Amino acid sequence: MTDAAPVMAPNPYRVRSRVVESPDSATLCLEPLGEVLRAPQPGEFMMLYAFGVGEAAISISGDPTVTDGSITHTVRAVGAVSRALHDAQPGSVIGVRGPFGTTWGLAEAAGRDLVMVAGGVGLCPLRPAILGALAQRDRYGKVTLVVGARSQADFVFAAQLEKWSHDPQIELHLIVDAKTPGWAGEVGLVTEPLGRLALDTERTTAFLCGPEPMLRFGAEALLTKGIAARDIRVSLERNMQCGVAMCGHCQLGPLLLCRDGPVVGYDVAGPLLRVKEL
């Protein structure tokens, strides 16, 4: 317990800025008040503590090329802790631990085509990988991003998606579950644009993040097209409470996702996700 004490103690970070992304999501940029934690890599997460309320695991959503010591998270308000974090205003203080977990493996994907698939706020953990790939665009082949949301209003980073839609360096597909006034784009599931993609199956790496049904159906669509399971990486969510593989709350079969995830190859994750109620 003595060795674990430092990593369990939150470091104070101040909210530098807050941007509302969607009706239930907001992006917080946090700056250190004391110790500067290691810069997180795309795919990793931090444990954020809302003082007097509790702690939650929140993925990184910021630009990995930023080196000023700040960290950026996009928080969806779904419970007491995430609501308190979501509502934090500039100047307020949040406790931060980490970073923890596995990465998307951008370095290992160098020289390959990238297909990134996001469902809803699943775009938030993928955003650092997208920005990282675009910042070193010559290291990768074709970069394709498929983003699904419940409706047009539910897309996070709407301004950045608009910018990417005109950027020749990335192929963007947007799709919504339900058409609303003003939406002229595609309606349906992310598997539909995925099914139309022309992929070089021998040199494509895929990153998927979103609800588990989307992960399963999206990964299976890619498998059907010939992408190897080991070349498909998914970000999994479970109830993480310690972040250091001590409490067991985030267990998924033989995995502890705070240590072995959240990003896991589909060759490992696929069989586990097929087990009901695991």
The residue ranges of DSSP E strands in 45-188, in sequence order, are 45-50, 54-59, 71-76, 93-100, 113-119, 143-149, 171-176, 186-187
Phi, psi of 234 (to 5 degrees): -120, 145
Q: Is 209 annotated as a binding residue?
A: no
β-strands 204-209, 113-119: how paired? parallel
Q: Is 258 annotated as a binding residue?
A: yes
- For residues 227, 232, 238, 244, the Cα torsion angle rounded to the nearest 10 degrees is 150
Q: Residue 6 — left, alpha, or beta (φ > 0 → left; ψ -120 to 50 → alpha)?
A: alpha
| Helix or strand run (H / E) with residue 158 | helix 158-164
The one-letter amino acid code at 125 reads: P
* Annotated binding-site members for [2Fe-2S] cluster: 242, 247, 250, 258
